[in-house]
Amino acid sequence: MQAGHSPGERVGLATHVHSGMESSLQSRDVAGVHDFVLLENYGSEDAFINNLQKRFNTDIIYTYIGPVLVSVNPYKNIPIYTDDVIKTYRNIHYFEAIPHIYAVTNTAYQALKEENKDQCILISGESGAGKTEASKKILQCIAVTTGRTNQVESVKEKLLQSTPLLEAFGNAKTTRNDNSSRFGKYMDIIFNYIGDTIGGSLLNYLLEKSRVVMQAPGERNFHIFYQLLSSSDASLLDSLHLSPNTYYHYLNTSIVSMKDNEIDDIGQFRVVKRAMDVIELSEQEQTAIFTLVASILHLGNVGFSQDENGNASINAPETIATVAKLLACDPAQLTHALERKTIIARGDSVTTPLNKELAMYARDALAKAIYDRMFTWLVQRLNSSLRPVDDEFNRTKVMGILDIYGFEIFGKNSFEQFCINYCNEKLQQLFIELTLKSEQEEYFREGIEWVPVQYFDNKVICDLIEERHKGIISLLDEECLRPGDTSDMGFLNKMSINLVDHKHFVSYSKAERTMLKQIPRDEFQLVHYAGKVTYSVHGFVDKNNDLLFRNLIEVMASTKNTITKAVFTEKELESKKRPETAASQFKKSLNKLMQILVTKDPSYVRCIKPNNEQTSGIFDEQLVRHQVQYLGLMENLRVRRAGFAYRRTYDVFLKRYKSLCPGTWPNFNGDPKDGVALLTQHLQYNKYEFSMGKTKIFIRYPKTLFMTEDLFQLKKNDLATLIQRKYKTHVARKNFLKMRWAAIVMQKYIRRFLAKRAMRRRRLAVEVLRRLLKGFITRDGQPTEDNMAFIQLSRINYLNRLAGNLPKSLVDRNWPPCPKACRDLSIVLHKLYRGQQARIYRQTLSPEKKRQFDLKILAEKLFQHKKKSYTSTYLTPFEKVRLPSELHQHKTQYETNQLVPGEKLLYCTNITKYDRHGYSPRDRALLVTTKAIHIVDIKGFKVKHKLSLESVTELVVTAEMDGLLLIRIPLELKKDKGDLILQCAHVIECVTFIVDAVKKPNILKIASTSMISHNMIGGKEGQIEVTAGSELGFGKGKTGHLVVTVN
């Protein structure tokens, strides 16, 4: 920030968003008060001006009178126009921070969005007071505040660029302002329903076109002429036949000789070119524009001379040729049109030569007409570029910005100043209407207690100018339209006669009479609301007629230039009606403007000019006081102090804020006034804060309203949440139902699928079962398709069962039962299994055991079912040595001593030998070897018999329980004593060993007879008698036989 700017204000700006409202309220008042309403001595003009000056001296240029912004032109850049500052003002109420044009803009913008009502910002003040600058700041603020989509950005860029473009063509340097608007501008910014900028529309008012051909000393023509001539684009200048060195009559200068360091024409030209690109003016359109500007400059240099008949002729035909070439029209026709005039008299067109003066007049009229129509074309072209897309037109809202030429007093004031000042009267009238008059009338109407505030109503001046039949404009038109020679002086006379009694009109004659300051004979004075202005009557009639000779229009209509071709048409010539005069047109357009403005919610910016020098730091108290007076700021303040900041009809107020009070929410059915009363009670409004009128509530301070509005904004969140909740529930339920439905459908399909599958399975199962059942029933029959499966199954089951139930031991002869189909298999398997078991058993047997088995098997073969004692012996294991232990040593000795080499003892037992004669018993031992049977004496083991194994031909035993063993000795060997009669306790064991050694099983004879004969020596035979008895016994019977008793 610049030095001198109050640090307190700065702090207030930067921190007000965060700190409480009270602290920012304080910080706004570091220099003077920020709102004149707060002025202690509010009735005093001195205090008022003092406050303005105090603030001005600390570079605080803005001050409020309630909602009205008073702005004092600082004539220097103050750094309070950055985007950051705009953002600071965005979401706050205007009274919460130091006054600013952004605060006003933002308030209007918020109202547009919130209340959906068209807005307009009216900027007023005299020339150079800062109106145009203010309008630019408003645009900038809107641009920064609104949406950021591409489309919005492009529209905003166009809106912003429309300013430099229009300024180049419509602004000029005057003695009052280096960049003075020489046209009136009303711009509508168009917003869509969410508050985004979507377009714009411009209205232009009465361009001061006389400037094109003539400027007052110290003033310039419109900027564009100088800008074009300063262009560094040599080829452009060439093509337009322009040169900075050439003297241009319409500029009163050549560009090189012009010294104006204040204005950067070169830079501005680049800005203008860029603006044209942004506005989307085509290359052709841009060329057409520059061509027209150049044509006007050339046209200005067309001079005339006059012959002795008073007929004018062009001096420099080459200049005319250039103009014709640029405009693409016939030079001869153009020349002709400039030297003569054509008028229609009673249906015939009559052409008459012009004198030099008239020719120059015609030339200037043409130049002005071209420039003026081009300017209007440009505005329309801008409008078409800014027009929102068609479908966006519904639900749009606009914010209008009125920046019109300010009240103007020059050394010499002409028709233009008259129009400009008239326009300012109208605006002042509107301001009074809306702020002072209607307000007070409303209090009265509504029955609010009110002491009327006196103010000056400028309606009387407006009437003086525009009243039908009596007003100045009517008198001027009358003079213009009357037949015969019309003149400015005629007009002045008319006024002097008709308006002589009017308080606000002074003419020469009237001044003379009333001894007022002299007024020249050709001038008249109007006492405007803003001061007295003396107008020179010269040119009024001409300018009002605004005539362009027919033949000039015809030439222009014949040009090829896009713009002239479009703005001058033959149609214009066909119209029989006389065109409306300039003043009447202006009056009409102003009244239309007033109609536009009254339909909108207005905001006001009142611009004040601190000095006439256009310099910073000078506060010309007198000058300011004058403006404060004529702007009616004091009255404004007085109404403000006593009045109410805000009013709304009860129903509207209730509709907006009813949600803030339980008694009125959601609906209040009674009289809205009662509803509002309830509401104010609930919101605890203080008595002095508001007043209840007949149809409206009046709220005194914006603070009260904004407090309410803030509450509403907060409440809106709650309401939004409620709506959201309902909506979300609705959406969620819809979703849920959809999902449930989907789930049901899915379930249906899945269930069907599962059911089908289960059904198939069950059907299959039934089939399998049925087949099995059939198979079971027919399992014993022939294999068929039906029972095969069952049989197969029973086989598998059988095998599985079998595997788990196999007998563990070889002795276990059990074998699991089997189905019929497996009977053969079972047998084979049983056999195989037993074979396998036996094999395993065998493999685990020791040689001894094996021998034991072999012998037992042999014994079985020999004796089973043949000898009774067999059954009682087969469980007793065979023993190789059946001798009492005391004999073992003998036996061992015998083995070593008596056996021949290679002979091995196989068996030995003690036996009883019976003599063949007398059958005396003798204790002997019998030894079986691999070669022979040895019978030895038991005492000392002396050999008694030795019978080689080959010699053993027969063994005889009885079939009974006894131990008789008869060993037949072959006859050739009977040299000894005949057959051996032996009794052996283990006869079966003994026989088995012998047979095993002899290896001839058939040598055993089991006698079934009771008599057994045996050989004796000498061919004799003995008899052994087997008889039954109670006791087993051996002995010689009475018969002489050996009797064996068995039981």
Ligand X SMILES: Nc1ncnc2c1ncn2[C@@H]1O[C@H](COP(=O)(O)OP(=O)(O)O)[C@@H](O)[C@H]1O
Which one of ligand X, Mg ion, none is in contact with 629 (Cβ closer than 5 to 8 A by kind)?
Answer: none
The SS3 assignment for 915 reads: coil
The rounded distance, in Å, linking the Cα atoms of 968 and 954 is 5
- Of the two residues 163 and 559, which places its CB atom closer to Mg ion in the complex? 163
Instruction: Give yes or no for residue 132 binding Mg ion (CB under 5 A).
Output: yes
Instruction: Name the minimum Å distance from CB 285 to Mg ion.
Output: 26
Q: Which stretch binds Mg ion (CB under 5 A): 63-71, 123-131, 618-626, 985-993?
A: 123-131
Count the neighbouring beta carbons within 10 Å of the beta carbon of residue 292.
Answer: 26
- Which residue of 51, 73, 581, 627 would you call a contact of ligand X, by CB under 6 A? 73
| Whether 553 contacts 572, CB under 8 Å | yes
The rounded distance, in Å, linking the Cα atoms of 1046 and 1010 is 11
Nearest to 1016 by CA among 975, 965, 983: 975
| Whether 477 contacts 465, CB under 8 Å | no
**Catalytic-labelled residue, pool 106, 177, 545, 551:** 177
| Residue pointed to by tokens 């001038």 | 523
Instruction: Give yes or no for residue 74 binding ligand X (CB under 6 A).
Output: yes
- Of the two residues 403 and 786, which places its CB atom closer to ligand X in the complex? 403
Q: Which stretch binds ligand X (CB under 6 A): 72-80, 424-432, 839-847, 906-914?
A: 72-80
- Which residue of 179, 953, 983, 1013 would you call a contact of ligand X, by CB under 6 A? 179
Any catalytic annotation for residue 561? no
DSSP E strands, 139-271: 171-172, 180-181, 184-191, 197-205
Instruction: Give yes or no for residue 32 binding ligand X (CB under 6 A).
Output: no
Nearest to 368 by CA among 230, 539, 237: 539
Element (H, E) at 731: helix 702-777
Name the closest residue to ligand X (Cβ).
130
Instruction: Name the minimum Å distance from CB 97 to ligand X.
Output: 17
The SS3 assignment for 874 reads: coil
- Of the two residues 123 and 362, which places its CB atom closer to Mg ion in the complex? 123
> CB-based contacts of 168: which residues, under 8 Å, 6+ apart?
222, 223, 224, 227, 268, 272
Any catalytic annotation for residue 132? yes
Nearest to 245 by CA among 293, 297, 280: 297
Q: In degrees rounded to 5, what are phi and psi of residue 462?
A: -55, -45
Instruction: Give yes or no for residue 559 binding Mg ion (CB under 5 A).
Output: no
Instruction: Name the minimum Å distance from CB 92 to ligand X.
Output: 21
The SS3 assignment for 955 reads: strand
Instruction: Give yes or no for residue 125 binding ligand X (CB under 6 A).
Output: yes
- Which residue of 163, 177, 458, 564 would you call a contact of ligand X, by CB under 6 A? 177
Instruction: Give yes or no for residue 627 binding ligand X (CB under 6 A).
Output: no
Q: What part of residues 190-219 is at the interface with ligand X (CB under 6 A)? A: none
Instruction: Name the minimum Å distance from CB 39 to ligand X.
Output: 23
Cα distances from 247 to residues 68, 250, 254, 371, 883, in angstroms, run: 48, 9, 4, 20, 174
| Whether 654 contacts 668, CB under 8 Å | yes
- Of the two residues 128 and 331, which places its CB atom closer to ligand X in the complex? 128
DSSP E strands, 331-418: 340-345, 348-353, 397-403
The rounded distance, in Å, linking the Cα atoms of 987 and 985 is 6
Any catalytic annotation for residue 27? no
Cα–Cα–Cα angle for 598, 647, 700, nearest 5°? Answer: 125
DSSP state of 643: S
How many residues touch ligand X (CB under 6 A)?
21
The rounded distance, in Å, linking the Cα atoms of 129 and 71 is 8
Q: Which stretch binds ligand X (CB under 6 A): 76-84, 203-211, 436-444, 768-776?
A: 76-84
Q: Which stretch binds ligand X (CB under 6 A): 173-181, 196-204, 669-677, 680-688?
A: 173-181
- Of the two residues 327 and 607, which places its CB atom closer to ligand X in the complex? 607
Which one of ligand X, Mg ion, none is in contact with 133 (Cβ closer than 5 to 8 A by kind)?
Answer: ligand X
Instruction: Name the minimum Å distance from CB 619 to Mg ion.
Output: 21
Any catalytic annotation for residue 128? yes
Instruction: Give yes or no for residue 607 binding ligand X (CB under 6 A).
Output: yes
Q: Which stretch binds ligand X (CB under 6 A): 125-133, 252-260, 423-431, 497-505?
A: 125-133
- Of the two residues 53 and 287, which places its CB atom closer to ligand X in the complex? 53
The SS3 assignment for 1021 reads: strand
Any catalytic annotation for residue 180? yes
The rounded distance, in Å, linking the Cα atoms of 460 and 480 is 25
- Of the two residues 71 and 787, which places its CB atom closer to ligand X in the complex? 71
Instruction: Name the minimum Å distance from CB 403 to Mg ion.
Output: 6
Q: Which stretch binds ligand X (CB under 6 A): 177-185, 205-213, 534-542, 851-859?
A: 177-185
How many residues touch Mg ion (CB under 5 A)?
3
**Catalytic-labelled residue, pool 24, 27, 127, 794:** 127
Instruction: Give yes or no for residue 164 binding ligand X (CB under 6 A).
Output: no
Instruction: Give yes or no for residue 132 binding ligand X (CB under 6 A).
Output: yes
The rounded distance, in Å, linking the Cα atoms of 213 and 222 is 10
Any catalytic annotation for residue 406? yes
Dihedral angle over CA of 393, 394, 397, 402, nearest 10: 40
Q: Which stretch binds ligand X (CB under 6 A): 129-137, 896-904, 921-929, 1031-1039?
A: 129-137
> CB-based contacts of 582: which residues, under 8 Å, 6+ apart?
206, 415, 419, 543, 544, 545, 546
Which one of Mg ion, ligand X, none is in contact with 498 (Cβ closer than 5 to 8 A by kind)?
Answer: none
Q: For residue 783, say if its preceding peptide bond is cis, omega within 30 degrees of 0.
A: no
Which one of Mg ion, ligand X, none is in contact with 826 (Cβ closer than 5 to 8 A by kind)?
Answer: none
- Of the two residues 407 and 540, which places its CB atom closer to ligand X in the complex? 407
Instruction: Give yes or no for residue 127 binding ligand X (CB under 6 A).
Output: yes
The rounded distance, in Å, linking the Cα atoms of 279 and 165 is 9
- Of the two residues 127 and 869, which places its CB atom closer to ligand X in the complex? 127
Instruction: Give yes or no for residue 564 binding ligand X (CB under 6 A).
Output: no
The rounded distance, in Å, linking the Cα atoms of 596 and 487 is 36
Show the site string, 152-181: x = touches Mg ion by CB under 5 A, - = not: -----------------------------x
The rounded distance, in Å, linking the Cα atoms of 1046 and 1031 is 6
Any catalytic annotation for residue 261? no
In angstroms, the first-to-last Cα distance of the chain is 154
Count the neighbouring beta carbons within 10 Å of the beta carbon of residue 411.
Answer: 10
- Which residue of 67, 406, 602, 819 would you call a contact of ligand X, by CB under 6 A? 406
**Catalytic-labelled residue, pool 12, 125, 128, 400:** 128
Q: And the tokens for 223?
A: 């900027």
Which one of Mg ion, ligand X, none is in contact with 434 (Cβ closer than 5 to 8 A by kind)?
Answer: none
The SS3 assignment for 1043 reads: strand
Q: Which stretch binds Mg ion (CB under 5 A): 125-133, 734-742, 776-784, 930-938?
A: 125-133
Which one of Mg ion, ligand X, none is in contact with 125 (Cβ closer than 5 to 8 A by kind)?
Answer: ligand X
**Catalytic-labelled residue, pool 27, 105, 106, 132:** 132
What b/e string do you get for 598-629 counting C-beta neighbours within 10 Å, with b at 16 or more? eebbbbbbbbbbbbeebeeeeeeeebbebbbb
- Of the two residues 610 and 675, which places its CB atom closer to ligand X in the complex? 610
Q: Which stretch binds ligand X (CB under 6 A): 73-81, 235-243, 306-314, 633-641?
A: 73-81
The rounded distance, in Å, linking the Cα atoms of 150 and 156 is 10
Instruction: Give yes or no for residue 128 binding ligand X (CB under 6 A).
Output: yes
Instruction: Name the minimum Å distance from CB 173 to Mg ion.
Output: 12
Instruction: Name the minimum Å distance from CB 34 to ligand X.
Output: 17
Any catalytic annotation for residue 876? no
Instruction: Name the minimum Å distance from CB 332 to Mg ion.
Output: 43
Count the neighbouring beta carbons within 10 Å of the beta carbon of residue 146.
Answer: 22
Residues forming the active site: 127-128, 132, 177, 180-181, 406, 408
Q: Which residues bind ligand X (CB under 6 A)?
A: 73-78, 125, 127-133, 177-181, 406, 607
